[in-house]
């Protein structure tokens, strides 16, 4: 456990963010290994199937992950308020719900994959590989959800180190199995997906087992795993807006991906490779956004409003600054970095074009996510939902629908991202400075 209501604020946030950053780095690296091994061993069509998977996976997984943001906020506030019995109830409720949600995710993912891929305008030559990859991937839906639920508990208690350890084990396993299944046994995209499922099972098992052994209010007792209706209602009231937000954003990105798919499998491979690189820009954003959510929730629970204000400013500065440094580096070195995935000139051309259109605007992406993390920690989860629903879904889809018809080139699609990042950042900044989002929490209980 790490009580973030005491001690130096910058140290609290950085020490929480660093393991999250390293864990996400490992996760991104083994995702890249998937693409490198598949692209080099199987070919560009298989690379297109794997590399273009992000939007569809986030459509399914992002909703469930968002639900558990609510559980983390509730646990963090109760921990900050030193209400340890309610912490225990919230933990057991979250894990019980994870079992149900994981099974549902697997069923939906397996049976809806072909329909969703057709809606994404996946080319016929890529469709068999894409269906095979996604169906195997979603077979492990329970492991994905359980890992996120258990690690969400650790993070809500200020512990971001244990999730890092489990990702380290998962990443190493995934890389080894990729080489065995894809390069060794020649199992293609199914081998890559199988390696991912096994590694997710390992991470979820380790996290679950550790929760049954920790000392503290968040210790998990298997016989006590059950849903407390009132607590679940609170967790869902905070988590559901984030889940809806994630899914809505994913739907918009699926539409963006479908427009990319319309340019053919070479465009899919090139842009998919860029998205793998873009994942690195998300690392500081994810890390500081998660740190801010947990820092804000614990300190609001303890009613330490001055710490909340200082921590919010520090987290925004760090997340935005580091993301923009990465963006500048990607802008300069994207021609070299993209050769990791493919050396085909046409594939590289698409990836470089997307990098040169988007990377210098990463500071806006970071600003929006950090602001959203702060507001989630304050329990204001509906605000990020509405802002991102408006900007990252409605406006993004409208822009794509209209602009691509007027200017039918792929760079038109790429510009959708910096445009909508800009709009969401403006709205978040206005709300942040105009709304009394800190003191409105005073007097409330979790």
Distance CA 282, CA 385 (A): 19
Residue 425: per-residue pLDDT: 95
Distance CA 138, CA 200 (A): 11
Q: Which structure tokens are listed for 54?
A: 């992000």
Residue 346: per-residue pLDDT: 86
Residue 56: per-residue pLDDT: 66
User: In terms of Cα–Cα distance, which of 429, 277, 437, 401 is closest to 350?
Assistant: 277
Q: How is 101-117 classified by DSSP, letter by letter?
A: HHHHHHHHHHHHHHHHH
User: In terms of Cα–Cα distance, which of 96, 76, 440, 376 is closest to 242?
Assistant: 376
Residue 443: per-residue pLDDT: 44
Angle formed by the axes of helices 396-406 and 229-261, nearest 10°: 10
Neighbours of 430 (CB within 10 A): 11
What pLDDT, in 10s, does the model give residues 3-14? 788 889 999 899
What pLDDT, in 10s, does the model give residues 130-175? 888 888 888 888 998 999 899 889 988 888 889 889 988 988 898 8
Residue 437: per-residue pLDDT: 60
Mean pLDDT of the chain: 85
Distance CA 308, CA 292 (A): 9
Centroid of chain to Cα 278: 12
Centroid of chain to Cα 275: 13
Neighbours of 213 (CB within 10 A): 8
Residue 54: per-residue pLDDT: 59
- Dihedral sign, Cα of residue 368, residue 370, residue 375, residue 379: positive
For residues 19-38, average pLDDT:
75
Sequence-separated (6 or more) residues with CB below 8 Å from residue 101: 64, 67, 145
Q: Does residue 12 contact residue 2 with C-beta atoms inside 8 Å?
A: yes
What pLDDT, in 10s, does the model give residues 387-436? 988 998 889 989 988 998 899 888 998 999 999 999 999 999 998 887 66
For the cut 70, the answer to whether the pLDDT of residue 176 exceeds it is: yes
Residue 370: per-residue pLDDT: 93
Among the residue ranges 15-29, 102-116, 345-359, the one predicted with the least confidence is: 15-29
Q: What is the pTM of this model?
A: 0.76
For the cut 70, the answer to whether the pLDDT of residue 48 exceeds it is: no
């Amino acid at each position: 456990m790490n009580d973030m209501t005491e001690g130096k604020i910058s140290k609290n946030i950085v020490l929480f963010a660093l393991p999250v950053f390293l864990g996400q780095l490992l996760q991104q690296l083994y995702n890249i290994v998937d693409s490198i091994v598949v692209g080099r061993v199987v070919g560009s069509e298989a690379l297109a199937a794997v590399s273009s998977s992000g939007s569809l996976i986030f459509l399914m997984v992002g909703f469930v992950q968002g639900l558990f943001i609510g559980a983390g906020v509730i646990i963090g506030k109760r921990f900050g308020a030193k209400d340890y019995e309610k912490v225990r109830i919230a933990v057991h409720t979250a894990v019980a719900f994870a079992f149900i949600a994981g099974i549902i995710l697997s069923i939906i993912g397996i049976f809806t994959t072909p329909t969703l891929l057709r809606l994404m305008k996946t080319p016929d030559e890529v469709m068999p590989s894409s269906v095979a990859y996604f169906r195997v991937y979603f077979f492990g839906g329970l492991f994905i959800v359980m890992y996120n639920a258990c690690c969400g508990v650790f993070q809500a208690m200020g512990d971001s180190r244990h999730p890092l350890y489990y990702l380290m084990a998962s990443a190493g396993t995934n890389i080894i199995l990729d080489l065995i299944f894809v390069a060794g046994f020649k199992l293609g995209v199914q081998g890559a997906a199988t390696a991912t499922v096994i590694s997710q099972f390992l991470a979820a098992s380790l996290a679950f087992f550790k929760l049954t052994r920790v000392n503290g209010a968040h210790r998990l007792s298997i016989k006590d795993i059950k849903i407390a209706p009132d607590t679940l209602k609170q967790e869902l009231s905070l988590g559901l807006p984030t889940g809806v937000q994630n899914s809505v954003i994913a739907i918009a990105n699926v539409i963006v991906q479908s427009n990319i798919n319309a340019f053919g499998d070479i465009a899919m491979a090139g842009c998919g490779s860029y998205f793998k690189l873009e994942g690195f820009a998300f690392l500081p954003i994810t890390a500081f956004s998660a740190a801010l959510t947990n820092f804000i929730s614990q300190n609001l629970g303890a009613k330490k409003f001055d710490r909340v204000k200082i921590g919010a400013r520090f987290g925004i500065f760090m997340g935005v600054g580091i993301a923009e440094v990465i963006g500048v580096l990607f802008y300069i070195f994207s021609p070299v970095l993209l050769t990791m995935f493919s050396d085909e000139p046409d594939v590289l051309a698409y990836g470089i074009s997307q990098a040169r259109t988007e990377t210098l605007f990463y500071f806006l992406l970071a600003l929006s996510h950090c602001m959203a993390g702060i507001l989630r920690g304050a329990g204001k989860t509906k605000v990020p939902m509405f802002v991102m629903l408006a900007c990252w879904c409605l406006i993004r889809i409208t822009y794509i629908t209209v602009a691509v018809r007027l200017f039918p080139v792929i760079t038109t699609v790429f510009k959708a991202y910096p445009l909508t990042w800009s709009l969401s950042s403006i709205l978040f900044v206005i709300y942040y400075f105009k709304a009394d989002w800190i003191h409105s929490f005073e007097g409330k209980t979790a």
